Chain A
Amino acid sequence: MSKEWPLWEIFIRGQHGMSHRHVGSLHAPDAETAILNARDVYTRRREGVSIWVVKSADITASSPSEKGPLFEPSESKAYRHPTFFDIPDEVGAM
């Protein structure tokens, strides 16, 4: 029984000026091959101008059970949003 090729997460920049976005994953023996495979699997219709590959095992993810404590702090801070402040119409656009 041979070992499986590692799994890589694939990130693609769709257009110049945009961030790379996660599109899926694939198996490949090494990073160079992962990029070549990603080209064939995820950019057959000119969907990308740049590819990042990251070994899935190297990704650390936040855990869903900690969603509360992790994100709660920002929930009570409505003043971080501009709409929190009432600026009189007379002041004009701000």
Chain B
Amino acid sequence: MYAQMVKSTGEAVKSREEMTPEERRFQDRIDAGEKIEPKDWMPEGYRKTLIRQIAQHAHSEVVGQLPEGNWITRAPTLERKAILLAKVQDEAGHGLYLYCAAETLGVSRDELTERLLDGSMKYSSIFNYPTLTWADIGAVGWLVDGAAIMNQVPLQRTSFGPYSRAMIRICKEESFHQRQGYDIMLKMARGTEAQRRMAQDALNRFWYPALMMFGPSDKDSVHSAQSMAWKIKINTNDELRQKFVDQTVPQAEYLGLTIPDPDLKFNEETGHYDFTQPDWEEFFQVVSGNGPCNAERLEARRRAWEDGAWVREGLLAHAEKRAARSAAE
């Protein structure tokens, strides 16, 4: 997902007997559905896992602006351009809501940025794929934001207050993202033969990367077990992926497009679609830096950070000078 394979403590979930009294009280609060707030006592593992997860999510929102930003100047109409600009601006906002949630856990914004740039923190694998045609912008809104919604809706109930509130804000805005994407796909799929082919090609390229967004199966992962006990992860990766497939297949049929999976079939017995897993080897390659656009994405972020340094410094110096002057008056 926007946060993939987030490592937790790496240890098995403690039984009640193994917990300290503080840990037991903490777990009871979570089990009772209470929100944990920044100044409350929390296990170090909870704090660290959350910082990793929220930061990875924030980085994904920010890096996620790049593949779409690529088409702002080339959108086919002024209206599409305004819509895409608004969508990308929302993603910047999502990044900011999440960074400020992470900061309540005692990490600084600059530190988070630097850890993105030095590669010690990740962002979602999906944003390492290029957007080659205008139809890709449709596919990204429809599939990528669609997959993000699958993950973010349950996270509104997460145990950490600031994270939950950020997710609620984000979810209010995501529906616009997915619908504008589907709207582009509709226009393309019902347009000229060349446009229909572009739409199909975009679906072909984004289908498996979208399935990868949920991360590899984590039904046996100790990290996920701990995160689920702490309610910072609500569903398993497989559950969300299945839900996404079940929701998306009829939408593709409506478009008259074909999902690039010959084995995709509705299973009467389970009531779900059977589908082919993405190539997990490709996923691990992308996550470890070898995707088609990894270097380009990080380079763009690094350039923005370095080229903006004089602005950050200049505005701060100006503010300090003004404050000193008004204090002297």
Which residues from chain A sit less than 8 Å from chain B, CB to CB?
A: 2-5, 7, 24-27, 29-30, 33, 40-42, 44-45, 61, 63-64
Contact = CB atoms under 8 A, between A and B. Distances in A.
Given A7-B103, A7-B109, A24-B96, 9 more contacts: A2-B316, A3-B316, A5-B315, A24-B100, A24-B166, A29-B312, A29-B316, A29-B318, A42-B93
Nearest to B172: A45
Contacts of A41: 93, 96-97
Contacts of A64: 37, 39-41
Contact of B309 (A2, A7, A26, A33): A2
Contacts of A2: 309, 312-313, 316
Given A24-B166, A64-B41, A5 B312 contact: yes
A4 B108 contact: yes
Given A4-B108, A4-B110, A61 B316 contact: no
Contacts of A44: 86, 89-90, 93
A24 B90 contact: no
Interface of B: 37, 39-41, 86, 89-90, 93, 96-97, 100-101, 103, 108-110, 165-166, 169, 173, 309, 312-313, 315-316, 318-319, 322-323
B93 to A, nearest CB: 5
A33 B100 contact: no
Contacts of B322: 30
A23 B97 CA distance: 9
Contacts of B96: 24, 26, 41
A79 B96 CA distance: 45
B315 A33 contact: yes
Contacts of A3: 316
Contacts of A40: 89, 93
Given A61-B39, A64-B41, A30 B97 contact: no
Contact of A4 (B101, B109, B318): B109
Contacts of A5: 312, 315-316
A29 B319 contact: yes
Contacts of A7: 100, 103, 109
Contacts of A30: 315, 318-319, 322-323
Contacts of A33: 315, 319
25 contacts: A2-B316, A4-B108, A4-B109, A4-B110, A5-B315, A7-B100, A7-B109, A24-B100, A24-B165, A25-B103, A29-B315, A29-B318, A33-B315, A40-B89, A41-B96, A41-B97, A42-B93, A44-B86, A44-B89, A44-B90, A45-B173, A63-B39, A64-B37, A64-B39, A64-B40
Contact of B109 (A27, A42, A45): A27
A82 B278 CA distance: 62
Contacts of A27: 109
A26 B90 CA distance: 15
B97 A24 contact: yes
Which of A2, A27, A29 has the most B CB atoms < 10 Å from its CB?
Answer: A29
A67 to B, nearest CB: 10
Nearest to B323: A30
Nearest to B317: A29
A5 B318 CA distance: 12
A82 to B, nearest CB: 28
Nearest to B37: A64
A29 B318 CA distance: 8
